[in-house]
């Protein structure tokens, strides 16, 4: 059964460093998403991506964040200069279509910023 994969499973970084979180969506999916969950809080939407551009982004997704689909299979989230408050579980998801189509989630990357 196809699945969304994410690497690494756990990333530890120093404040101010750049991190890149990687995701491989399901191959025939067209819509891609990043969500995050700070410990003890809700899963929050960060950004959606379609046709090589951002479709929608939340207030959280400021200039420190960027997304890219560099090679037609990977989907990456970059945080340019990490802050302590960026520590969270980051989930990638993909779907064939928007709205009612199921979003398939990856297992997440736990980011710890020291």
- List residues binding other proteins (CB under 8 A): 4, 31, 33, 35, 41-45, 48, 50, 55-56, 58, 91, 93, 95, 97-108
What is the nearest approach in angstroms of other proteins to the Cβ of residue 55?
Answer: 4
Q: What is the DSSP letter of 103?
A: P
C-beta of 79 vs 93, nearer to other proteins: 93
What is the nearest approach in angstroms of other proteins to the Cβ of residue 53?
Answer: 11
What is the nearest approach in angstroms of other proteins to the Cβ of residue 81?
Answer: 26
C-beta of 65 vs 105, nearer to other proteins: 105
Distance in angstroms (rounded) separating the CA atoms of residues 26 and 105: 10
Q: How many helices (H) and strands (E) does the chain have?
A: 0, 11
CA dihedral sign of residues 2, 99, 41, 15: positive
What is the nearest approach in angstroms of other proteins to the Cβ of residue 65?
Answer: 16
CA 82 to chain centre: 15
């Amino acid at each position: 059964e196809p699945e969304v994969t994410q690497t690494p499973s756990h990333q530890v970084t120093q404040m101010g460093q750049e991190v890149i979180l990687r995701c491989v969506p399901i191959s025939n999916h067209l819509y891609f998403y990043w969500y995050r969950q700070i410990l003890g809080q809700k899963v929050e939407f960060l950004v959606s991506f379609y046709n090589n551009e951002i479709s929608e982004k939340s207030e959280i997704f400021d200039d420190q964040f960027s997304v890219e689909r560099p090679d037609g299979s990977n989907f990456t989230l970059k945080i340019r200069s990490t802050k302590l408050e960026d520590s969270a579980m980051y989930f990638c998801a993909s779907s064939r279509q928007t709205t009612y189509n199921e979003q398939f989630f990856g297992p997440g990357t736990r980011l710890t910023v020291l």
